[in-house]
Amino acid sequence: MKFPVLNLEGEQTGRFVEVSDEVFAIQPNWHAIYLDTKRYLASQHRGTHKTKTRGEVQGSTRKIRPQKYTGQARLGQRTSPLLRGGGRVFGPRPRSYAIKVNKKVQLLARRSALSVQAQNGNILVIEDFEMERPRTKRIAELLRVVGASQRFTLFILPEPNRIIYLSARNIPYVETIPAYQLNTYLITRAYTLLFTERAILRVDQWLQPKKQTHHASV
């Protein structure tokens, strides 16, 4: 599969970047996309919620009133869950929400999501470039000329670049990430995937299925 390379003015350079059909042109596996998206969103849940039980609430342990002959229900200490300010029964406790998804399924999900975006024409490739200092105006102009403005755009770089990150962080519809942080959730959420040349080649190399070698038995 080939993608045309655009320059920083949004014009065709006449060059193409060639990537593997096994990454950008497969039959999408929607269940794998669902599982990996669910795994990613679950991992964002910190799980630090906590309430106090009756053993953790401060309060007197003296029996509040006599057990019998008051005409009222029996009642124990002040920390009882039945009273205001008492402990909570079966309240939330800190826990992990992580979901295990096999590595091969995660890679299949990423390939499937990229293939969907490629089929929909939502992948753009621009030539590699460098910036001497942060300039938001330059990145905003780049997004405008390539047609990626006003909609959520995922800007993928070959490696972390602080200057480009600082230039794009104030643009509300842009998220900048290095290639190794690409995940199924971000791919499916983006309206446009904007790669640099080296970034898309790096993603292509990373997501290529491993070739299995079969050894003949002796």
Q: Does position 4 have pLDDT exceeding 90, yes or no?
A: yes
Q: Please tell me the predicted confidence (pLDDT) of residue 128.
A: 93
Q: Please tell me the predicted confidence (pLDDT) of residue 217.
A: 54
**Taking the complete model, does pTM exceed 0.85, yes or no?**
no
Q: Does position 213 have pLDDT exceeding 70, yes or no?
A: no
Mean pLDDT confidence for 67-85: 91
pLDDT-derived band at 215, boundaries 50, 70, 90: low
- pLDDT over 90 for what percent of the chain? 84
Q: Does position 132 have pLDDT exceeding 80, yes or no?
A: yes
Tell me which residue of 197, 195, 13 sits closest to 114, measured CA to CA. Answer: 195
- SS3 of residue 85 by DSSP: coil
Token look-up 């942060």 returns: 134
Q: Please tell me the predicted confidence (pLDDT) of residue 179.
A: 95
Write out the DSSP string of 123-175: EEEE-----SS--HHHHHHHHHHHT--SS-EEEEESS--HHHHHHHTTSTTEE
Q: Please tell me the predicted confidence (pLDDT) of residue 216.
A: 54
pLDDT-derived band at 214, boundaries 50, 70, 90: low
Residue 144 to residue 9: CA distance in whole angstroms: 9
Give the tens place of pLDDT for each residue, 152-182: 999 999 999 999 999 999 999 999 999 999 9
Mean pLDDT confidence for 28-56: 95
Give the CA diameter of the chain.
Answer: 95
State which fold the 2-29+101-207 domain adopts.
Ribosomal Protein L4; Chain: A; (3.40.1370)
